Amino acid sequence: MKKFIGNIILFCSIIITILYLLDYTITKGLRKTHFHTFNNLTKIYNSELNSDLIINGSSAAKFQLSPYLLDSILELNSYNLGMEGVGFIPQNLQSDLYLKYNKKPKIVLQILGDFELFRRDGLIGYMQFSPYLNMDEVKKVTKMYKGFSVLDYYIPFIRYYGSPFDIIDGFFSFFGLELRKPTGYKGYFEQDLKWNSAFDKFKKNYKDGRFIKMDPESMKLFEIYIAKCKKSKINIFFVYPPNYYEYNQYIKNQDEIISYYTKISKKYQVPFLNYSNNPLSLSKEYFYDSQHLNKKGAELFTKILSEDIKKIIEDSK
């Protein structure tokens, strides 16, 4: 019996050791890979950015603002940290990590939308945080959402199970070989697409319109974030990009959402660049769905925004 128990203990010890070794290798590797899933956090964690201007936001940032154009017009070094499908709480986490490992930017463009302060149950793209689950700030935020299981936080390597390409990528990156190359440009992913059918599905699902509830915890954190930027003397701008005009009619409380942003901008003296009625919003030519500009629209919008920011900066001198 003692021998049997001893063999079980030995077997478990071997398994645990293997899991720890795998976890160490994959985690270290994924913290070095520049494949697009992990690219932004890799650059943040390894202090590779140190940009003059940072773009925070969701897909409205990631797909709609070109750092190339911002850099050429404003004559600075920008980076787009847009995160697809997430609200403000994960955005704030990424911003905190940026400030922890990189020099503070001179300018932050906080891209706002109707869903910025809406809190989803699940965390879209949660695997991008998998190499950083041992960090308290990452653990705290990811536990607020569906995505990782309880076991993922306490048993090594388990969080990577079911993601074979990430495991392979992490393994080879550990040894300095990146199998999956980065895509996009400085965090920006242009969408060279034409208008699709997503809005038709939206109208069918929300015939009477949609009310978007703003999350009190997200609102509280949003103000803390702004106050922190102001205290650090970071020039922050609120930017509300254009939506396709017909979409705006389906959001029942859009005026309330924009009024909240306006109120906060006045409270903290933050310029609020609201493009909800910009002429771009009138044509499907510039959009691939009701809430996202395509490549043509994004480039036009980036130029408009850059010139407006440039004028504000020059007027403030």
For 255-304, the pLDDT digits (tens) are: 999 999 999 999 999 999 999 999 999 999 999 999 999 999 999 999 99
Q: What confidence score (pLDDT) does residue 15 get?
A: 82
Arithmetic mean of pLDDT, 23-39: 96
Comparing CA positions, the residue from 59, 77, 62, 110 lying closest to residue 270 is 110
Q: Which amino acid is at 276?
A: S
- Note whether 239 and 273 are within 8 A (CB): yes
Residue 235 CB coordination number (10 Å): 18
Pairing of strands 287-289, 292-293: antiparallel
Arithmetic mean of pLDDT, 223-247: 97
Q: Which amino acid is at 60?
A: A
For residue 62, what are its two tokens?
A: 């990631």
Arithmetic mean of pLDDT, 33-52: 96
Q: How far is CA 227 from the centre of its chain?
A: 20
- Note whether 263 and 136 are within 8 A (CB): no
Q: How many domains does the chain have?
A: 1
User: Which CATH number characterizes residue 53's domain?
Assistant: 3.40.50.1110
- Note whether 81 and 55 are within 8 A (CB): yes
What percentage of the chain carries pLDDT values higher than 70? 96
Mean per-residue pLDDT over the chain, rounded = 94
Q: What confidence score (pLDDT) does residue 246 get?
A: 96
- Note whether 41 and 184 are within 8 A (CB): no
For residue 309, the cross-strand partners are none
SS3 103: coil
In degrees and rounded to multiples of 5, residue 77 shows phi and psi of -110, 110
The DSSP annotation for 159-189 comes to GGTT-HHHHHHHHHHHTT--SSPP-SBTTB-
Domain boundaries, position 250? 2-316
- Note whether 288 and 190 are within 8 A (CB): no
**Tens of pLDDT, residues 75-125:** 999 999 999 999 999 999 999 999 999 999 999 999 999 999 999 999 999
DSSP state of 105: P
- Say yes or no to pLDDT of 182 above 90: no
Arithmetic mean of pLDDT, 206-226: 96
- Say yes or no to pLDDT of 186 above 70: yes
Confidence category of residue 179, pLDDT binned at 50, 70, 90: confident
Arithmetic mean of pLDDT, 204-228: 96
Residues 147, 121: Cα–Cα separation, whole Å: 9
- Say yes or no to pLDDT of 1 above 80: no
DSSP state of 207: T
Residues 244, 287: Cα–Cα separation, whole Å: 7
Q: What confidence score (pLDDT) does residue 258 get?
A: 97
**Tens of pLDDT, residues 131-154:** 999 999 999 999 999 999 999 999
C-alpha separations of 127 from 158, 177, 211, 212 in Å: 12, 20, 29, 26
For residue 239, the cross-strand partners are 111, 273
Arithmetic mean of pLDDT, 28-39: 95
- Note whether 127 and 161 are within 8 A (CB): no
